């Protein structure tokens, strides 16, 4: 890479001011005006041709850098340790069991890494498995190339990116179940302790247990204990239902792609 600076000339600027602030750099090296942070991304899929396609689709993006490409999940875990990506694009087609296992492994060993499942499977059941096991979004392989970068940016900001039909289905199921419960919601929320409220707020921000523990200066086990208590008090089954509950009550935002 040529590190020499280019000097821009300004025909309409007075001679004495022509070289003031006129140094320019390659936009992929330094550009504080167009972006403030770089999103480091790892991509994994069984097929190298799909990896090449994803890399090509992201090549024009100055704010997204592909730091690792893997065809095996074990290699992905090793590359996460070495390259420390913020987001992983994880290819998976039909094996729901493997998808759940891989997402669980990512959450356990790399709690700060956000996973987006990249798949050709349009089944809402498959997408729900991804959501319930910690994925921050699902991208269909037949999507427009620019949607890959848009989803990566949204997930980096803390959003969830799932098909609208899935979001609607899960919210509808959740709302129907909640209507059968006699206890009003406000008294339920009021039963949360101050620490439980803090944990719930961090969950709504998209943080995982290890990140919450670090921010609140408590152990992972204590976070898990608080979550169990929150689920019991609010009548929820898991983390996904907690996010849906928070969305329904305007405690946080749940965005679909």
Rounded Cα distance between 21 and 220, Å, is: 50
Average pLDDT over the chain, rounded to whole?
Answer: 77
Domain 167-248 -> CATH class: alpha beta
234 in Cβ contact with 251 (< 8 Å): no
Q: What is the pLDDT of residue 104?
A: 85
Query: 161 phi and psi, to 5 degrees?
Result: -125, 95
Top pLDDT among 7 and 227 is at 227
Q: How confident is the model at residue 40, as a pLDDT?
A: 96
pLDDT band at 79 (very low <50, low <70, confident <90, very high): very high
Least confident range of 112-116, 209-213, 244-248: 244-248
Sheet-wide strand order for 39-44: 64-70, 39-44, 87-91, 114-119, 137-140
Same fold, 22-162 and 167-248: yes
- What pLDDT is attached to residue 36? 55
Find tokens 């069984």 and name the residue: 46
Query: Is the separation of the CB atoms in 175 and 248 below 8 Å?
Result: yes
Domain boundaries defined on the chain: 22-162, 167-248
Give yes or no for residue 182 having a pLDDT over 80. Answer: no
The residue-averaged pLDDT of 195-223 equals 88
User: Which helix (H) or strand (E) is 177 found in, with range?
Assistant: helix 164-179
The two structure tokens encoding residue 190: 């009021």
51 pLDDT exceeds 70? yes
Domain boundaries 22-162, corresponding CATH code: 3.40.50.2300
Residue 87 belongs to what H/E stretch? strand 87-91
């Amino acid at each position: 890479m040529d590190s020499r600076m280019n000097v821009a000339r300004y025909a309409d600027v007075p001679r004495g001011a022509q070289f003031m602030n006129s140094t320019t750099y390659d936009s992929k090296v330094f550009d504080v005006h167009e972006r403030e942070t770089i999103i480091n991304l790892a991509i994994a899929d069984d097929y190298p041709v799909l990896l090449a396609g994803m890399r090509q689709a992201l090549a024009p993006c100055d704010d997204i850098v592909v730091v690792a490409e893997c065809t095996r999940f074990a290699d992905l875990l090793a590359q996460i340790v070495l390259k420390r990506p913020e987001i992983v694009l994880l290819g998976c087609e039909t094996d729901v069991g493997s998808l759940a296992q891989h997402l669980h492994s990512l959450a356990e060993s790399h709690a700060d890494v956000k996973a987006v499942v990249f798949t050709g499977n349009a089944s809402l059941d498959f997408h729900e498995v991804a959501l319930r096991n910690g994925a921050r979004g699902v991208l269909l392989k037949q999507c427009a190339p620019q949607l890959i970068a848009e989803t990566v940016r949204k997930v980096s900001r803390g959003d969830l990116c799932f098909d609208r039909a899935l979001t609607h289905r899960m919210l509808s199921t959740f709302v129907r179940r909640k209507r059968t419960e006699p206890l009003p919601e406000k008294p339920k929320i009021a039963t949360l302790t101050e620490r439980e409220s803090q944990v719930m707020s961090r969950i709504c921000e998209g943080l995982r247990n290890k990140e919450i523990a670090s921010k609140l200066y408590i152990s992972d086990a204590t976070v898990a204990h608080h979550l169990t208590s929150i689920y019991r008090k609010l009548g929820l089954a898991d983390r996904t239902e907690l996010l849906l509950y928070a969305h329904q009550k305007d405690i946080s935002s749940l965005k679909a792609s």
